[in-house]
Amino acid sequence: MSQAHLNASSSSSSNFQLVLSAALDAYEKRTKNKLLTHPLAAQLQSCNSPTAIISVLQDLIQQFDRRRRSDERLTNWLNPTVNVLYAFASTLGQGVGLVFSPANVVFSGIGVLLLAAKDVDASQDVLIDIFVRIEGFFKRLESYTEVQPTVAMTDVIVKIIIEVLSILAIATKEVKGGRSKKFLKKLLGKNNIEDALKKLDTLTMEEARMAIAETLKVTNRVDDKVDKVDDKVAKVDDKVDKVDDKVDKVDDTVNRMDDTVNRVDDKVDKVDDTVDK
């Protein structure tokens, strides 16, 4: 990786720290919750894999779903969302040590929303609507988590994380207000959360397009290297063919020498016969 790319990545990560801090302040003002000091944050901080994080969040969903009809859509969205955000956090953590994990901040926000919704009977349908849409956004990115992100891709990753945090803040505020089912159903039609969901849709599509383009670049570079290897192999084959030709010529020379030796032997035999007579 070039020094320029390292510097750009370092600058981007530093800026992200400031942007996320501002987003956390906005979240706190809207929900009256401090995610960094919430008990869930400490619990999630000890998780060292997506599987461990999913386990924590599934426990919260079970608590939320215990008094309601079971709906698998409440858990289906977890895998793509957690896998992608966890990969994003690893990307943002490279080069510059972050004070806190951006993924854990979002996972804490998800947990706070589930806890807030636990005692609001009208909240399940609204959460399912939100989670299903988020699942669709992150599914399109799940296949590209192994792609080495460019600086431009990292910038979009930052925007995606901030937008998810904004959606969680809006939903948490409304659910904590103990709104009626009719009001909560209207939540998805309100400009603030609908705009945030549309923006998240656009950002994840943009990230997917850039990931595809980067994958094609890498594939083309690999193809070029394979072509060069093929050229080198072909040259080696040519040299081997030339060596074979030389060996064949040596064999011909040896055969001619054998013929000459045989003729000499014949002559010697004739001389011996003459002497004997």
Number of domains in the chain: 1
Q: Are 221 and 185 in contact (CB under 8 A)?
A: no
pLDDT of residue 97: 47
pLDDT of residue 180: 46
Within-domain flag for 263: no
Per-residue pLDDT 10s for the chain (277 aa) are 444 444 444 555 567 778 888 989 999 998 888 888 888 888 888 888 899 999 999 888 887 766 556 678 888 888 898 988 888 877 776 544 455 677 888 899 999 988 888 776 666 777 888 888 888 888 888 877 777 878 888 888 888 888 899 889 988 887 877 654 554 555 555 567 778 888 888 888 888 888 888 888 766 655 455 555 555 655 656 665 665 666 566 566 656 665 665 664 555 455 555 655 5
Within-domain flag for 83: yes
Vertex 48, ends 43 and 52: CA angle to 5°? 65
Q: What is the DSSP letter of 35?
A: G
The amino acid present at 180, given as its one-letter code, is: S
Within-domain flag for 137: yes
Within-domain flag for 167: yes
Within-domain flag for 276: no
Within-domain flag for 252: no
Within-domain flag for 227: no
pLDDT of residue 136: 85
Cα 231 to Cα 272: distance, rounded to the nearest angstrom: 61
Within-domain flag for 164: yes
Q: What share of the chain is helix, strand, coil (3-state, %, to 5)?
A: 85, 0, 15
CA 46, distance to chain mean position in Å, is 22
- Domain of 90? 3-221
In 3D, which of 92, 196, 79, 94 has the Cα closest to residue 142? 79
